[in-house]
Structure 1
Amino acid sequence: MSWQILVSILIICAAIYAIVKKCDARLTLFLAGAIMCLLAGSPMDAFKGFVKGMVNPNLVPPICAAMGFAAAVTYSKCDQHLVALLATPLRKIGGLLIFAGMFTTFLVNIAIMSAAGTAATVGATFIPIMIRAGIRPAGAAAAIGGGTMMGLLLNPGCAHDIYIAKLGNTPVMEFISNNAIYIVATMLVAAIVSTLVMIFFFKDNKPEAAELAEFVSEEKEGEFKINLAKATAPLVPMVLLICGTLWLPKGSLDVVASMLLGVAYIAIISFRHPNELIKSFFKGMGSGYASVIGLIIAAGVFALGMQKIGLVPAFIDLLKESNDIARWGASFGPFLLAVLTGSGEAAIWAFNQAVTPHAASFGMNPETLGLLCAIAGQLGRTASPIAGCIIIVAGIAKVSPVEISKRMCVGMLVALVFAALIMV
């Protein structure tokens, strides 16, 4: 093993430690990548990689447009109407409400995409309903927090889908349709196992009176009036893309166009001042660039540094020796990092930019490997007590995030092994 490999491993360990200690992931990944480029004798490549990521035409327009649409949905409160519509029929189904809450949150996450945004929107409505229906606060919070896993991977505006589909030269809707069965099956395994753990081990369907008292006293009079037009607004871009894939020539309706048409629909049905709606859209685009694109850029520099210093070629040579090494490395690696950091994004982007493009060299499909990594990162984040979405639902239910993590870890691990076995 060369000194470059040893030093790069130390740099990566230091980067992981820094992220765990809450250093900004973008800063940490960029610095780690730049240092590896410097040690490899190519210091300027880090800056070239940074610029390349900034103007990537395959990622920047669709991701920013999707984030802008999400901001418009939030501003117009269409997300609240969607959640209220889904919550109405689920009030009186007993212990099954745990599974139903998790599955419903998964569906909402397809439309909203942001795990934290989904947790806040769904949690504010569902958690009090579940508690008043006889579910312990920790169980109700775990159901909603657990439901934030992987739903966004079924949305054509998801950054991971766009990137992975591009690796395989596959239209994003075709990529989703080909892999939806894996995403849904893994989610169902995680949801079923987690529900069983919460019912039979934690007894979350048998609350004590003291646990319910505070929430019962907080129940508000009156019902939220659901506007069906607003409730369907978050789904418009997906419907347009699906219809476009089925009935229009390929490429005639892309992600950007569908998101813009979705914003136009919101403007028509929300009766809000269009100036403010458009401001929220562009603000969301800017926020998306700062958070999602910024992380992609930094992870790209990190991956480039690992490539230049020789770590990626060495790792690929290792993966060539065994399909099992590739399978478990792509699953447990991102999963564990996501648990430690509370975010699966850094792990997913770093792995998918550094290793997944070379999947064919060790006998794997880049789309399959990339999706497995994305699923693993999402599951790990859901099991983490320091993930933003878990902290949000814990606050709503007034319980410790650790209590939620206890209820999630078994289901997420079982789902991780399941995904690795069926996909690779």
Structure 2
Amino acid sequence: MFGLLIAGAVVAICGYLIVNRYKAQAVLICGGFVMMAVAVIFDFGPILPAKASTGFAWFDLFKFVDDLASKRTAELGLMIMVCAGFAKYMDKIGASKALVHVAVKPLKLLKSPYMVLCGGFLIGQVLHPFIPSASGFGLLLMVTMFPIYISLGVDRTTATAVIATNGCLDLGPASGNSILAAKYAGMTPVDYFVNYQLPQAIVISLAMTATHYFVARHFARKQEDQLPPPAAERDENVAAKAAGETLPPWYYAILPAVPLIMVLLFGYFKFKGIKMDINVALFIGIFVAMVVEYVRSLDLRKIFSSMQTFFDGMGVQFATVVTLIIAGETFAKGLQSVGAIDTLINYAQTAGFGKDGMILVMSVIIMITSLIMGSGNAPFFAFSAFAPDVAKKVGAEAVNILLPMQLTASVTRAVSPIAAVVVAVAGVAGVSPFEVVKRTAAPLAVGLIVVQIMTYIMF
């Protein structure tokens, strides 16, 4: 009980600091160290097993981080960094923009603004696995889909809300959260995506699409949005930027999909007995893009120079996502060291919670922390490490706990007014993030409910 009280206090303090924009990595690592220090002082047990220990308990705190950083950077971290580098390169050569522009063309054939909203949301769900950054994807849609919505009479806030939720399902083998979840579940990211994420994503997307339709009509009837001249001028600027944008040829739209197609064909279906992992597929995708760029420009210096974008993308991802994973797992180790997780599990089991009850409890924890932090990554990285142990103690598979946790984290993010994607798209549209989340709340609440229903049906 004492350990649980210490953990609760540390979690509350860390949450307060993160909400107030203290750096999440530093906060989580320090929080983990504080709890591990308490475990050492009160002799809750060793931080490291005897074989891995330095021989001095206080040095073991740092040895744990060293071992963790070495392991995560060499395996999981490299995969995440390569995915990010590929995404940055696709953006650099304009392939991401070409993909979105080709995908949204059918929307212009629809005349009903509400049907266009629904169609745009569904297209977003299909495109997001190819463009994993929620904020980057949202900003890209602001210069492609947003002008279409506005031209059909959709109010700016509703249009912005739909765009803010386009990346709410963190899907695909290129997603950092998906890669981490697959790691803890003991499977490949492709297996995790095809067999577990995809069935849920289809149902969740359809349910949220229907909800968006009725929410948009509800707010249209209320006519809450009055377009002042500066906002109308901003809309014209966004539309003008979209109209005047220089795009590469249409076939560039295929390039972002090359790695996913290859990893599904060879990594999942094992076509002609060929095996392929995500990193190999991404490197091949980069090579194909370089060849296409060279054939188009015949400028070898330009092609080689553009590769720096790939390496820069890898570096940025290490500085953000990989370090956040290390910090989150350090925090998780602290919670485990003081016995907080075991205590919670014991309480849940005493209260009669089985597998389904524990899935709900872990999802609620993730939902609350994601809403407060405005992030889908930080809470999932901090709590996902518990999933295998929790699952084992309630007689479930790790993926039974991880899948709803991961989807809950990503869905909840878009209902937080401090989430990066909400703030970014609201800033472009010139509307309040709080008004945006009023319109995202209902579709995302439906999404969260469907996550739990689908988890119950699947497992």
| TM-score exceeds 0.5 | yes
- TM superposition shift of 1:379: 1.1
The one-letter code matched in structure 2 to 1:278 is M
Q: For 1:27-48, what per-residue CA distance to the aligned partner results, in whole angstroms no more than 9, with x for missing partners?
A: 1110000000011005434323
Structure 1: unaligned runs, 5 residues or longer: none
In the other structure, the counterpart of 1:420 is: 452
Q: Does 1:163 align with 2:180?
A: yes
Whether the aligned pair in 1 keeps the contact of 2:36 and 2:334 (CA below 8 Å) is yes
Aligned twin of 2:261? 239
Give SS of 1:55's match.
Answer: helix
Normalising by structure 1, we get a TM-score of 0.93
Verify the 8 A CA contact 2:117 2:213 in the aligned structure 1: yes
Q: 1:222 to 1:65 in 2, by over 3 A?
A: closer
Q: Does 1:281 align with 2:310?
A: yes
2:17 is matched with: 18
Q: Could you give the per-residue CA deviations for residues 245-288 of structure 1, whole angstroms, max 9, x where no partner exists? A: 21347782111101111111111122462222221111111111
Q: Which residue of 1 aligns with 2:251?
A: 229
Residues 197 and 304 of structure 1: CA distance in aligned 2, closer, same or farther (over 3 Å): same
Q: CA deviation at 1:79?
A: 0.8
Residues 418 and 32 (structure 1 numbering): CA distance in 2 closer, same or farther, change over 3 Å? Answer: same
**Unaligned stretches of 5+ residues in structure 2:** 41-46, 48-57
Match of 1:68 in 2: 85
Q: CA deviation at 1:15?
A: 0.7
Amino acid corresponding to residue 124 of structure 2 in structure 1: T
Are positions 1:298 and 2:317 aligned together? Answer: no
Distance (whole Å) between structure 1 residues aligned to residue 405 and residue 263 of structure 2: 25
Stretches of 4+ moved more than 6 A in 1? Answer: 204-209
Which deviates the most, 51-60 or 17-26? 51-60
SS at structure 2 position matched to 1:91: helix
Name the amino acid aligned to 2:29: F
1:186 is aligned, of 198, 204, 218, to: 204
Partner deviation per Cα, 1:30-75 (whole Å, 9 max, x = no partner) = 0000000011005434323322332224312211111111111111
Post-superposition offset of 1:85: 0.7
Structure-2 residue corresponding to 1:348? 380
AA at the equivalent of 2:61: A
Counterpart in 1 of 2:213? 195
Counterpart pick for 1:255 among 278, 293, 297 = 278
The answer (yes or no) to whether the contact 1:37–1:46 under 8 Å persists in 2 is yes
Bigger Cα displacement from structure 2, 243-252 vs 346-355: 243-252
Name which of structure 1's ranges 208-217 and 340-349 shifts more when overlaid on structure 2: 208-217
Q: Show the 5 A alignment for 1:135-150.
A: 135-150=154-169
8 Å CA contact retained: 1:109, 1:148 = yes
- Two-structure CA RMSD over aligned residues (Å): 2.3
**Given that residues 376 and 416 in structure 1 are in contact (C-alpha distance below 8 angstroms), is that contact kept between their aligned partners in structure 2?**
yes
Give the alignment's TM-score, normalised by structure 2. Answer: 0.86
User: Which of residues 362, 382, 391 in structure 2 aligns to 1:330?
Assistant: 362
CA contact (8 A) 2:157 2:225 kept: no
Shift in CA distance, 301/86, structure 1 to aligned 2, threshold 3 Å: same
Residue 311 (str. 1) matches residue 329 (str. 2): no
CA separation in 2, counterparts of 1:207 and 1:33? 46
**Deviation (angstroms), 1:167:** 2.7
CA distance in 2, matches of 1:45, 1:357: 22
Change (3 A) 1:251 1:310: farther
Distance 2:207 2:416 in 1: 18
Deviates more, 1:360-369 or 1:370-379: 360-369
The residue that corresponds to 1:401 in the other structure is 433
CA distance in 2, matches of 1:111, 1:371: 20
Q: Of the two, which has the highest radius of gyration?
A: 2
CA deviations 1:66-99 (Å, max 9, x no partner) are 1111111111111111111112121242221111
In terms of mean alpha carbon deviation, does 24-33 or 175-184 score higher? 175-184
1:120–1:204 distance in 2 versus 1, CA, 3 Å: farther
Q: Partner of 2:32 in structure 1?
A: 33
Residues 308 and 83 of structure 1, relative CA distance in 2, 3 Å threshold: same
Percent of aligned positions with the same letter in both sequences? 24
Please report how far the alpha carbon of residue 222 of structure 1 lies from its aligned counterpart in structure 2 after TM superposition: 5.9
2-structure distance, mates of 1:209, 1:5: 51
CA distance in 2, matches of 1:216, 1:75: 25
- SS of residue matched to 2:187: coil
